[in-house]
Amino acid sequence: MIQSKITKAALMAGTAVALAMGVAQAAEKWDMPMAYSATNFHSATGAEFAKCITTGTGGEIEVVTHPSGALFKGADIKRAVQTGQAPIGERLLSGHQNENAVFGVDSIPFLATSFEDAAKLWDAAKPTMTKILDEQNLVLLYSVPWPPQGLYFKKEVNSVADMKGIKFRSYNNATSRLAELTGMLPVTIEAAEISQAFATGVAESMISSGSTGYDRKVWESLTHFYEVDAWLPRNYIMVNKDVWNGVSDANKNVIKGCAELAEYAGTWRAVEYTQFTLNGLRAGGMTVGPAGDGLVGELRAIGETMTTEWLEAAGDDGKAIVDAFKAAQ
C-alpha cells in the first residue's frame, strides 16, 4: 500500500515535470516562511519540497524557504499567505484554533495517539479543512504530523498537583487550556524562542514532541520528559489561492506531485525521528520514560473535559470528523 502510494506520487511528479518543461512562462520567486529551525525535519521536508518545485517547473517557479521565523514569525505566517505578503508558507494547523475550532482537531487529548490513528484522523478531517482554508483564500498542499506529544519539566512530576504554578509554554488553544486545567501558568512562546525562554526562566515546562526538545537542546535547562502520547499535531503547507489560480495546469501538476511526495517523506521522517530524538534527550542527560499511572489517569480525565469542550465549540463539523475517524478504526 505504502509502496504503491509513493510510486503513484513519483509517476505523477515525473509526468508533471515532463509537461512543465514544455511550457514557457516568466520565472517567479516564491518566498516560503517557516516557523521551525532549518534542522527540524519539517523544515528539511519543506526545503526538499521547494527544490522539487523549482526543478520540476524548470525554474519557472523558484521556491525559497525561510526557516526559524526569519521572514514572518509563526503566528503571522498564515495571515501573510492569505493577504499575499507571501505566496506560500508552513504553519502549525492547531495554531488557528481561535479562528475555527476545527483547526484544533489534531490536538484533542488522547483521541489519536499513534501515527496510524493520526493518519485516519487526518483523512476524516481533510475535506472539511480544505473547504475552510479555501474560504480563507488558501489552498492546502500537504500536511505532516509531529511525533507524539510528551511533557517536559525541570523536576520530577508524579501528579497534576506537582504541576501547580509552573510556567508552561503554550502554542495553541489546547496547550493553554491544558495549563489552566492543571494549575500551570500558560506563556505563549514561538518555537524559535524556546531555548531562550527556558534558559531565562520565562518558561519551565511544555508539552511537545521529542523532536522539538532535541532540536532546541532543552536538556540545557530541563531534566525530565514524560511520554504521554497526548496527541500528534500537524504542520501544513498552504498557498495563496489567487497565486495558485495564476499557475499553469502543468506547473500545478508538478506542485501536487511534489506535495504528495513531501507528505509521504515527511510522515516517515516523523516516525523514524521519534525514537532517535528520545535517545538524543537521554544522551543530553534528561530522564526519559512513560508517565506514572496516576498522572496518566489524571491527564486522561482532563482530556475528557477538553474533548467535550472541543466538540461543543466545533459543532456539527467537529462531530462529523470525530464520528468518521471512529468509524475508520
Rounded to the nearest 5 percent, the helix, strand and coil shares of the chain are 55, 15, 25
Distance CA(247)–CA(132), nearest Å, equals: 21
Query: Does residue 113 sit within a domain?
Result: yes
pLDDT digits (tens, 9 = 90+) for 192-207: 899 999 999 999 999 9
162 and 20 share a domain? no
pLDDT digits (tens, 9 = 90+) for 128-161: 999 999 999 999 999 999 999 999 999 999 999 9
76 and 190 share a domain? no
Q: Which residue bears the cell 534542522?
A: 39
Q: What is the mean pLDDT of residues 38-52?
A: 96
Q: What is the mean pLDDT of residues 81-90?
A: 98
Distance CA(324)–CA(318), nearest Å, equals: 10
130 and 41 share a domain? yes
- Does pLDDT of 261 surpass 50? yes
41 and 172 share a domain? no
133 and 68 share a domain? yes
pLDDT digits (tens, 9 = 90+) for 305-320: 999 999 999 999 999 9
Which DSSP category does 208 fall into?
E
pLDDT digits (tens, 9 = 90+) for 284-302: 999 999 999 999 999 999 9
265 and 161 share a domain? no
Task: Give 26's pLDDT tier (boundaries 50, 70, 90).
Answer: low
- Does pLDDT of 11 surpass 60? no
Query: Does residue 131 sit within a domain?
Result: yes
pLDDT digits (tens, 9 = 90+) for 67-76: 999 999 999 9
37 and 100 share a domain? yes
- What residues make up the domain containing 238? 2-146+234-275
What is the CATH number for 102? 3.40.190.170
Angle 82-88-89 from CA coordinates, rounded to 5°:
90
176 and 304 share a domain? yes
When the pLDDT of each residue in the chain is averaged and rounded to a whole number, the result is 93
Query: Does residue 139 sit within a domain?
Result: yes
Angle 54-76-90 from CA coordinates, rounded to 5°:
35
- Label residues 90-110 b or e (16+ Cβ within 10 Å = b): bbbbbbbbeebbbbbbbbbbb
Q: What is the mean pLDDT of residues 52-65?
A: 98
Q: What is the predicted pLDDT for the residue at 192?
A: 85
Distance CA(129)–CA(104), nearest Å, equals: 11
The DSSP bridge pattern shows strands 28-33 and 287-290 to be unpaired
